[in-house]
Every structure is written in structure tokens, then in C-alpha cells.
Amino acid sequence: MASGMQEKQYTPSLLNFFIYNPTFGPREGEEEKKILFYHPSDVEKNEKIRNVGLCEAIVQFTRTFCPTKPAKSLHTQKNRQFFFEPEDNFWIVMVVRNPMIEKPNKDGKPPTVEYQEEEILVSTERYSSTSLFNGTFGRAMEAGGVELLIQKLEKFFYRYLQTLHLQSCDLLDVFGGISFFPLDKMTYLKIQSFVNRVEESLSLIKYTAFLYNDQLIWSGLEQDDMRILYKYLTTSLFPRHSEPELAGRDSPLRPEVAGNLLHYGRFLTGPTNLKDPEAKFRFPKIFVSTEDGYEELHLIVYKAMSAAACFMISASVELTRDFCEQLDGLVGPQLTLLASDICEQFTVNRRISGPEKEPQFKFIYFNHMNLAEKSTIHMRKTASVCLTSVHPDLMKILGDINCDFARVDEDEEIIVKAMTDYWVVGKKSDQRELYVILNQKNANLIEVNEEVKRLCATQFNNIFFLD
């Protein structure tokens, strides 16, 4: 840090991102046909073809060593390539430049560049979100041939790559977890009752998900689909709507609703104003898996104060103004009431637990079984910025420990003494992982161990977590 004045740091950045299918242009001269999507798009054609060809070659070559598990990534000094084959012959490739430090040399020589060896955290979530909004590649091909597929990919990835912020990726992106809202049994049952009643009276609704404060409370979708939807909601849809809400413009009380039922409900997808005669009743469509394939659904996201309900309806049904008005009239008042109930519960619980003191430790918890994540390191995760309260170097250590955990099946524990008086502890018990950052000067290993034990006893006393 002391030499920060002279040194130049480069964070990891995206060099290329492309999708290809080798079977689309097997003959010489037709190589361009293989490429379905290429970022950045302004690269010269021959370079595109060269890069794709290189990847193809690497995959083919490595396959000779292990036919069942083709290479997943290639690490070179300057960059790292990730290969992912979500469907037969469809390849998604991402090339990331490694972070580096440029050290100026005293005697006017060109600067020395140090490429840093560290794990770059990327997940396969990018395909998952594609499939959420587009279904599978194969399906798009069936529907409209290669052209439609290319169109869809353009549309989706153009947006998607803007939300990809490699420099702020951290452990939570690797987990791709779901943050659950803590709630007492009774309020939870009330929400259950609400969901069941809405699904009963609006029988078009196939699935419902319920969130509060951007945290999940109930999902009628299966876990894997929910994980992707949750990611979309919390990193894309909600942040886009939070700005006007904070400004207080967009959620006026609506006394014009019949029956004098005042409520704060509004559509986050679909019509912004039901009263507008020009309003369009088009909703984003998503794809979720079923026992025998997938199904296409309308995604209605309806929010009242901090409570959001997602209703999913078969895409084969056309949604009308009538339906939306019915939904608004039924859900709006109930959701408003529930939201204030939950809010009250939440503040009561807070008061009981007492004023929050800045604890001696910070932690990240993740459970692979239910994808539950919990972090006291992240203040708030939005689309563009990820505010963490610890130094990026410590976050990198967390990433390293995570990679170590991924290599073995056994339970284990890793304790790292980091620079600047920090201790970092990683624990893995069955399907759960816990990462703790302690700031204790002069603490020794035993004391750190004791401290973590204490933390487990207070924070995780209701789960089976081996010491």
C-alpha cells in the first residue's frame, strides 16, 4: 500500500465473450457461421475466427485426455479462458484479463508488469440466466432457426454483459445463493395463507414467489429456477425500480381504487399505470424446468412497499387488462397489509435483539442445501456496485479458501493470518461453509479458534454445525 503512489493496479477485466457452435460451419471458408455471438462486436472478422478456432482446438485437444470431462478453463500468464458447453455443441467462452500490477522502474526502463496469480471467481450463472429468459438454444433453433437464435443472443447478452462487473465479483457471486428473510412462524403462515388464497382465486397463476426487502420468503418454483430468478430480481429488476421509490414519487397512495381500499401495490413488470388507456399488458417471459423439459411463463412482479410477489402464469395465456385489474384489486390491499405486518415484526425483533454493536468479526455463511447465504460483510449488493466493508485483499483470501474447499469432500477448517492484524477462518461442515474475518491484534491461533467457536454458538446454535 505504501508504494501505491507509484504502482498502477489493474483489476480483472473482460476481454472477449463469445458463443459458437462448431457444427454450423464445418467447412473451410464458412468459419464465420459458427459464431453466434461475439463481444466486443467491433473486433475484426478474422480475429474472431482465429479466437474461436483456438478455443475449438483447445477443447478438442484436451478431450483426448479425458473424453467425459472437457477442459473448463485455461490459465495463461496474461489471461484466463473459461469454456462452458451448456448444450451439445453450443459453447460459451469468456476470456478475462488477469489483474496485474504495473511497477514503474526507476531508470526509465519500461514498467515491469506483474500478473497476479489468483483465483478469478466466475460462475456458470450466465447460461442459467440465458435459459431463464430464452429457454434453451435448441428450442430457439426449432422456433426460428439460427437467425432467431442470434437475434435473441444479441438482445440478451448485450444487456447482460453490462451488468457483469468482474472487478466486484466476490465469494457471493460464486455461491449464487439466496438471502432469506428471517421471519417468525406466525407471519410466515400468514404469507402462506395469502399466497394460497391468491392462487386459488386467480387460478391462472401457476407459481408464486414472495420476497421482502430483496430477501426471499417463499418460492413456489423449484430451487434451481428460483436461484436464477432471485439473481435477476435482486441484481437487475429491483435496483432499476429502487431509485424512484426512494425519491417517493412512484408509490402514491391510491385512493381512487374502488371499495376504499387504499394500497401501495404496483406492477414492476407489465403496465406502469393501470389507468392509462394505452397501457400494454406485456410481461417478460421466463423459462423454468419441469419434470419433462421446460415451460414458458409470464413473469408478473407486483410490489407493495418492501414486499414483492412474483406471479408466474403460463405463456400460452394472453394476459388482459381485466386480469391485471383483478390482480391489482385483490393483491394490492392484502400485500400492503402484509408488508406492514412484516415491517412491524421486523422492527420488534430488532428492538428485542438490542442496539447493534459493531461486532469484532464479520462473516459469510452459505448452505449448499438450500442455497441460503448470509453476509455481514456486504452492506448492500446492487447491480453496479458491491459495497463490502472489508479490504479487497481479504475478500481474495476468502475466494482462495473457497477454492480449497471445493477440491475436497471432507469437512475441514482453514485458518489464515492475513496482513494488517486480520485473521481469516474458513470452516466447512457437511454442506455448509462459513468464512469469518476477525480483527484482533495479537491474538494467537488458540484464541482465534475459541472466538470462532463462540461465534458459532451464538449465531448458528440452531443448526448442526460441527466445531
Partner 1 sequence: MSEEHYLELCENPVQFEHASSVNNVFFDEANKQVFAVRSGGATGVVVKGPDDKSSVAFRMDDKGEVKCIKFSIGNKILAVQRTLKSVTKNASVLGFCWTNWNEIVFITDQGIEFYQVFPDKRSLKLLKSQSINVNWYQYCPETTVILLSTTVQGNVLQPFAFRNGTMCKMSKFEIELPVVPKPAKLSLSERDIAMATIYGQLFVMYLKHHSRTANSPSAEVVLYHLPREGACKKTHVLKLNTTGKFALNIVDNLVVVHHQSTQTSLIFDIKLKEPDSAVNMHQPVLPARSIHPYRIPLAGPAVVPSQPPVPCQLYSSSWSVFQPDIIISASEGYLWYLQVKLPPAVILLQDKGKLMDFLLRRRDCKMVILSVCSQSTGEKGSLPVVATVFDKLNQVYKEYLEAEQTYTAAMESGPSRGSAAQKRPVRTQAVIDQSDMYTHVLSSFTERKGVSHKFIIAVLMEYIRSLNQFQITVQHYLYELVIKTLVQHNLFYMLHQFLQYHVLSDSKPLACLLLSLESTYPPAHQLSLDMLKRLSTANDEIVEVLLSKQQVLGALRFIRSVGGHDNVSSRKFLDAARQTGDQMLFYTVFRSFQQRNQRLRGSPSFNPGEHCEEHVVHFKQLFGDQALMKPSTV
Provide CB contacts within 8 A for 55, sequence distance 6+. 20, 81, 83, 91, 93
Report the residue from 109, 185, 249, 357 that binds partner 1 according to the rule CB under 8 A: 185
Judged by CB under 8 A, the residue of 6, 41, 112, 193 near partner 1 is: 193
Task: Name which of residues 208 to 267 contact partner 1 (CB under 8 A).
Answer: 218-220, 222-223
- Tell me how far, at minimum, the Cβ of 312 lies from partner 1, in Å: 14
Q: Which three cell numbers stand for residue 313?
A: 402464469
Q: Which of 48, 126, 152, 190 binds partner 1 (CB under 8 A)?
A: 190
**How far does CA 418 lie from the centroid of its chain?**
28
Applying CB under 8 A, does 196 fall inside the site for partner 1? yes
Per-residue binding string, partner 1, 403-422, x by CB under 8 A, is --------x-----------
Per rule CB under 8 A, is residue 370 in the interface with partner 1?
A: yes
CB atoms within 10 A of CB 65: 9
Q: Does position 199 bind partner 1 by CB under 8 A?
A: yes
Rounded Cα distance between 123 and 403, Å, is 12
Q: Does 393 bind partner 1 (CB under 8 A)?
A: no
Whole-number Å distance between alpha carbons of 371 and 323: 34
For residue 40, whether the previous peptide bond is cis, meaning omega lies within 30 degrees of 0, is yes
- Using CB under 8 A as the binding rule, whether residue 128 contacts partner 1 is answered as no
C-alpha cell at 238: 429491483
Least separation in angstroms between CB 391 and partner 1: 33
Please pick, from the candidates 41, 151, 192, 349, the single residue that binds partner 1 as defined by CB under 8 A. 192
Cβ of residue 195: shortest distance to partner 1, in angstroms? Answer: 9
Residue 106 is given by DSSP the state T
Name all contacts of 281-286 with Cβ < 8 Å and 24+ positions apart: 281/319, 281/320, 281/321, 281/323, 281/324, 282/319, 283/319, 284/133, 285/133, 285/315, 286/132, 286/133, 286/229, 286/312
Using the minimum distance from each CB to partner 1, give the nearer residue, 129 or 219. 219
Q: Is the C-alpha dihedral spanning 351, 354, 357, 363 positive or negative?
A: negative
Determine which helix (DSSP H) or strand (DSSP E) holds 401, and give its type and residue range.
helix 392-407
Q: What is residue 136's three-state secondary structure? A: coil
Binding span for partner 1 by CB under 8 A among 68-76, 184-192, 243-251, 282-290: 184-192
The phi, psi pair for 437, rounded to 5°, reads -115, 120
- b/e map of 95-125 (b: 16 or more CB within 10 Å)? bbbbbbeeeeeeeeeeeeeeeeeebbbbeee
Name the residue nearer to partner 1 (CB basis): 273 or 431: 431
Q: Tell me how far, at minimum, the Cβ of 427 lies from partner 1, in Å.
A: 12
How many residues make contact with partner 1 (CB under 8 A)?
A: 30
Question: How far apart are CB 164 and partner 1 at their closest, in Å?
Answer: 28
Q: How far is the CB of 321 from partner 1 (least distance, A)?
A: 25
Told to check if 462 binds partner 1 by CB under 8 A, we report yes
Binding partner 1 (rule: CB under 8 A), the pick from 143, 146, 148, 189 is: 189
> Which residue's CB is nearer to partner 1, number 389 or number 431?
431
Instruction: Check residue 431 for interaction with partner 1 (CB under 8 A).
Output: yes
C-alpha grid cell, residue 314: 403460463
Could you list the residues that contact partner 1 (CB under 8 A)? 180, 183, 185-186, 188-190, 192-193, 196-197, 199-200, 218-220, 222-223, 367, 369-370, 372, 411, 430-431, 462-464, 466-467
